[in-house]
Amino acid sequence: MRVTCGPVDDDLLSLQNIHVSQHVWNREEDRRLIARRAAPTRTRIAGVPQQIILLLDQAGFEWIARLNYIKVSPGLLTALVERWRPETHTFHMPFGECTITLEDVGMLVGLPVDGEPVLSRGSPNILRLAEELLGVVPPQSEIKGHRVRLSWLAANFGDIVDDIDDVHVLVRYATAWILRYLGGVLVPDRSSSYVSLRWLVFLRDFDIIRTYAWGAAVLGYLYRNLCTSTDYKTPSCGGFTLLLQLWAWERFPTILSSPLPPIPPASPIGLRYEQI
């Protein structure tokens, strides 16, 4: 009797021949996924200039500043991707199917999931927009297409002189830090070294930044990257992989060797793992 790891009927799960689970079943060489990521700081919120923390909070990104330093486990990421099915956008577990929902995004990391969609809004003059919102145009050596190097943003907007209190200048720094979170943590591209300047279209007004459904956009991007990572030949996984790890810790607490920490008051559930 021939036993296979795939579905009995492939009408729905039609991608089994390229799915990583097929290669695991065939005892091919183990694949250890790398999380594409370039976090702005590894020293928690203390690594963020104090002058812009209120602006990050106003924009809805302060929780990301607190969580971004947490390392993503390659082993856990690999194990979860092996159980992800791109045809259904669900994890196939021994007990059934499950997936990350918009509710999980809001509860775990505090990103808004309701509001205006984060959609392309034409093709503005990117360099002019950068000059308007960042106060400087990145040199051509730091730009590739519509993307700018994250290292350039870090070098030019990493630290703030203590005596700067001009709100317009502080807004520019906060804008650059949000760009770094987008390109380094939330929606990293294949290089993990660049971020699109087109995000600036949504960062023009700090009064309305948090009215966009960032959580929905981030979850959709993570779904897409999980799907592409199920191909055995793909060596890495992009998207907000930290969200995936926080979800796994919360939904499968036996993964952790210690009891779940308490949830800090008035904060997303994911912040309970800040001390791990």
Tokens standing for residue 187: 């929606």
User: Rounded to an integer, what distance in angstroms lies between the CA atom of residue 64 and that of residue 177?
Assistant: 11
User: Rounded to an integer, what distance in angstroms lies between the CA atom of residue 264 and that of residue 251?
Assistant: 18
User: Rounded to an integer, what distance in angstroms lies between the CA atom of residue 82 and that of residue 161?
Assistant: 47
Closest CA to 37 of 273, 242, 245: 242
Can you give the pLDDT at residue 122? 66
User: Rounded to an integer, what distance in angstroms lies between the CA atom of residue 226 and that of residue 32?
Assistant: 14
Phi, psi of 194 (to 5 degrees): -125, 160
The pLDDT tens digits along the chain (276 residues) read 445 666 766 778 888 888 888 888 888 888 899 999 887 666 666 688 889 999 999 999 999 988 888 889 999 999 999 999 999 999 999 999 999 999 999 999 999 999 999 987 666 788 999 999 999 999 999 999 899 999 999 999 988 887 787 899 999 999 999 999 999 999 998 888 999 999 999 999 999 999 999 999 999 999 999 999 999 999 999 999 999 999 999 999 999 888 888 998 989 999 999 877
